[in-house]
């Protein structure tokens, strides 16, 4: 009986070794998407009042975990019963990412930013609750974008273990999904709290010495990092979408073979995003016109 127990432990150890190795390979293959995921979500999780940053980030993180709980079993089931559907799901997701990337570019060049006003009301307990429509919109947008990027991460992770048995596939994909969420949003949390950490260092240092200089650096660096992440996040959306089209649509895969892959994918993402933006904008105008006449 004891030998049977130790044999089970031995099997578990071997399984964990296989999962660890498969997870390492899958994580390496998804590293590019994880970097894009970080850039996109860091940009979406910033720009809120200081006391709202962590609640907003936690709301996005919970949404991301729910996304993974939905995506992982569906991806595994599709891979078993309808593997061809995975490509179509990725292409639809790519269209959304391309549309969002182009929309950001158009807003930057053609629309003036509007000042955000918080709606403040007093509760019966005298507590002040500050909420803005922009906050809800950004959280929803972040969770939706995370869903698309999560699909890409899960599919790539699954593709790296297709030659393994189902148990290893499930454990590997689930591990990569969890690491992606915890790792990405953990780093985002550090970024959005940089200025608070800087202010604390300045206060404790008494305005002198190394920690004062470090605190000032953190405070001044945050707006610059946010702007950089905004630009990188937009490019990342177009690159990821372009990569999806290039890898899943034969025409785009063989288009301009002499051009570097990154440049080609960025161009494809930009063109497809512009097409999606024009179609969607035209559709909204037609719907608005029909409603105004009725």
Task: Answer yes or no: is 120 within a domain.
Answer: no
Task: Answer yes or no: is 135 within a domain.
Answer: no
Number of domains into which the chain is organized: 1
- Copy the structure tokens of residue 22: 């498969």
Task: Answer yes or no: is 188 within a domain.
Answer: yes
* Measured distance between the N- and C-terminal CA atoms of the chain, rounded to whole angstroms: 79
Please give the residue range of the domain that contains residue 259: 2-108+142-293
Q: What percent of the chain has pLDDT over 70?
A: 75
Q: How many helices (H) and strands (E) does the chain have?
A: 10, 2
Task: Answer yes or no: is 32 within a domain.
Answer: yes
Structure confidence at residue 142 (pLDDT): 83
Strand partners, 119: 131
Of 110-124, 184-198, 217-231, give the lowest mean pLDDT range: 110-124
pLDDT in tens, 281-290: 898 888 888 8
Task: Answer yes or no: is 113 within a domain.
Answer: no
Q: Check pLDDT > 50 for residue 61.
A: yes
Are the C-beta atoms of residues 154 and 181 closer than 8 Å to each other? no
Task: Answer yes or no: is 229 within a domain.
Answer: yes
Task: Answer yes or no: is 253 within a domain.
Answer: yes
Length of the chain (residues): 294
For residues 119-126, give the mean pLDDT.
Answer: 43
Structure confidence at residue 273 (pLDDT): 93
DSSP per-residue string spanning 83-133? THHHHHHHHHHHHHHHHHHHHHHHHHHHSPPPPP--EEEE-TT--EEEE-H
Task: Answer yes or no: is 117 within a domain.
Answer: no
Inter-CA distances, 274 with 64, 202, 271, 280, Å: 27, 46, 5, 10
What is the band of 49 on the pLDDT scale with cuts at 50, 70, 90?
Answer: low
Structure confidence at residue 276 (pLDDT): 92
């Amino acid at each position: 009986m004891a030998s049977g127990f130790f044999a089970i432990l031995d099997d578990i150890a071997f399984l964990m070794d296989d999962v660890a190795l498969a997870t390492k390979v899958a994580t390496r293959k998804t590293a590019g998407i994880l970097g894009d995921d970080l850039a996109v979500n860091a940009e979406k999780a910033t720009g809120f009042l200081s006391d709202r940053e962590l609640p907003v980030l936690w709301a996005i993180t919970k949404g991301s975990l729910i996304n993974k709980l939905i995506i992982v079993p569906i991806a595994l089931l599709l891979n078993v019963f309808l593997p061809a559907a995975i490509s179509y799901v990725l292409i639809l997701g790519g269209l959304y990412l391309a549309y969002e990337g182009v929309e950001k570019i158009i807003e930057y060049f053609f629309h003036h930013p509007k000042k955000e006003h918080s709606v403040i009301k007093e509760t019966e307990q005298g507590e002040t609750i500050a909420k803005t429509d922009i906050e809800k919109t950004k959280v929803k947008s972040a969770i939706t974008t995370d869903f698309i990027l999560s699909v890409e991460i899960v599919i790539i992770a699954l593709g790296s273990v297709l030659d393994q048995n189902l148990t290893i596939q499930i454990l590997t994909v689930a591990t990569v999904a969890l690491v992606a969420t915890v790792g990405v949003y953990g780093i985002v949390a550090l970024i959005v709290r940089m200025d608070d950490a800087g202010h604390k260092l300045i206060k404790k240092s008494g305005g002198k010495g190394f920690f004062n200089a470090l605190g000032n650096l953190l405070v001044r660096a945050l707006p610059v990092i946010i702007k950089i992440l905004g630009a990188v996040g937009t490019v990342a959306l177009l690159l990821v979408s372009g990569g999806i089209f290039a890898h899943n649509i034969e025409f785009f895969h063989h288009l301009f073979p002499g051009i570097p892959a990154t440049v080609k994918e960025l161009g494809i993402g930009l063109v497809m995003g512009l097409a999606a933006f024009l179609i969607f904008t035209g559709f909204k105008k037609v719907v608005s016109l029909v409603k105004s006449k009725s």
